C-alpha cells in the first residue's frame, strides 16, 4: 500500500491527526531503566502499545537510536509497530540529503533495512537528491524539509529569490508540482510558524504536511490545524517529548496515553471533529 493511502486509512480508523515522535533519551527513562540504553526498544514499545489507537503515524528519529548503537533496537521496534499497530505508517526521521549512489544507499537503509513507510529528506541539493528515492521506491513517502520550526531556519528558508518568492515557497511549489512524479511527496512545516503553514498550504494544497513543534517546542495545536488542514490535504501533527515524558514514574505509559489522547482531542476539536 502507498504511504499516502496508509496515512489516510490510519487517520480515519483512529480519528487522529497526531503523529507521536519516538525520540528516546535513556537519561529520561523511568525507574531502573534510567540511563540504560539497552531499554530503548522496551521504552518505545511501551509508548507504542499505549498510543497505537490514538495516532495517524509514528515517527522514530534515527539519531536517538544511532547515538546509542541501538539501530538493531530500531529495527525491532518497527517490527513491533507492525504487530501492535498494523496499518499505522512509520516515518523514519533521518533528514537525509545526498545524491547518486549515496542516496541509493540511504534509501535502501530506510526502506529495506528499517522497513519504514516514509522518510524525511533535505531537498536543498535539488531534484537529483530526491530522484534515487523516487525511482526505486515510488510507493514510499518522501517528506521534504520546507519551513522548519527552529529559529535559525529563517537564515536560508526565508531568503527571497530572484523573482520574489521565498526559498521555502519555491520548495513547496516544486513539491506540489514538477517534483511529485508519483504522488509521494510531503512537506515538513514547523508549528511555530502558523502563517507559513498557511502559505505552504496555499502552494501545496494536496500534500501531507508533517508539522513538528507542538508541545514541548511551544507550537499551538489549534492554530496549526486551522492553518494547515484542508479537504484533500491532511496534516500529521507531531508531538514527541510531551508524550514520551509525560511522567517520569512507573506510570509513564499510562501518562503518555493520556497526553496523546488530550492532544488528539485538541486537534479534533480544532477541525470540528
Q: Which residues are catalytic?
A: 95
- 98-134 exposure pattern, b = at least 16 Cβ within 10 A, e = fewer: beeeebbebbebbbeebebbbbbbbbeeeeebbbbbb
The DSSP secondary structure of 80-103, one letter per residue, reads HHHHHSTT--BEEEEEE---HHHH
State the Rg of the chain over Cα.
Answer: 18
User: Alpha-carbon distance 95 to 126, whole Å?
Assistant: 14
The grid coordinates of residue 170 equal 519555491
Q: Provide the 8-state DSSP code for 161.
A: P
User: Alpha-carbon distance 111 to 189, whole Å?
Assistant: 23
List residues bridging with 141 in a β-sheet. Answer: 118
Q: Provide the 8-state DSSP code for 147.
A: E
CA distance between the termini of the chain: 26
Amino acid at each position: 500500500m502507498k504511504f499516502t493511502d496508509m496515512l489516510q486509512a490510519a487517520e480515519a480508523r483512529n480519528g487522529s491527526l497526531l503523529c507521536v515522535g519516538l525520540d528516546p533519551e535513556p537519561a529520561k527513562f523511568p525507574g531502573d531503566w534510567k540511563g540504560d540504553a539497552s531499554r530503548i526498544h522496551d521504552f518505545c514499545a511501551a509508548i507504542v502499545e499505549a498510543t497505537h489507537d490514538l495516532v495517524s503515524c509514528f515517527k522514530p528519529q534515527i539519531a536517538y537510536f544511532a547515538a546509542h548503537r541501538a539501530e538493531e533496537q530500531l529495527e525491532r521496534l518497527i517490527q513491533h509497530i507492525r504487530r501492535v499497530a498494523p496499518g499505522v505508517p512509520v516515518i523514519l526521521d533521518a533528514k537525509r540529503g545526498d545524491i547518486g549512489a549515496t542516496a541509493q544507499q540511504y534509501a535502501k537503509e530506510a526502506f529495506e533495512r528499517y522497513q519504514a513507510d516514509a522518510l524525511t529528506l533535505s531537498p536543498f541539493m535539488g531534484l537529483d537528491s530526491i530522484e534515487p528515492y523516487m525511482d526505486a521506491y515510488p510507493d514510499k513517502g518522501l517528506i521534504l524539509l520546507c519551513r522548519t520550526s527552529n529559529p535559525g531556519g529563517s537564515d536560508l528558508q526565508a531568503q527571497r529569490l530572484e523573482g520574489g518568492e521565498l526559498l521555502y515557497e519555491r520548495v513547496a511549489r516544486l513539491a506540489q508540482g514538477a517534483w511529485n512524479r508519483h504522488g509521494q511527496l510531503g512537506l515538513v512545516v514547523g508549528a511555530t510558524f502558523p502563517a507559513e503553514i498557511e502559505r505552504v498550504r496555499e502552494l501545496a494544497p494536496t500534500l501531507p504536511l508533517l508539522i513538528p513543534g507542538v508541545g514541548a517546542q511551544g507550537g499551538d495545536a489549534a492554530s496549526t490545524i486551522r492553518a494547515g488542514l484542508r479537504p484533500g490535504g491532511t496534516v500529521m501533527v507531531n508531538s514527541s517529548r510531551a508524550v514520551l515524558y509525560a511522567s517520569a514514574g512507573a506510570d509513564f505509559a499510562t501518562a503518555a496515553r493520556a497526553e496523546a489522547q488530550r492532544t488528539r482531542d485538541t486537534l479534533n476539536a480544532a477541525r470540528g471533529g
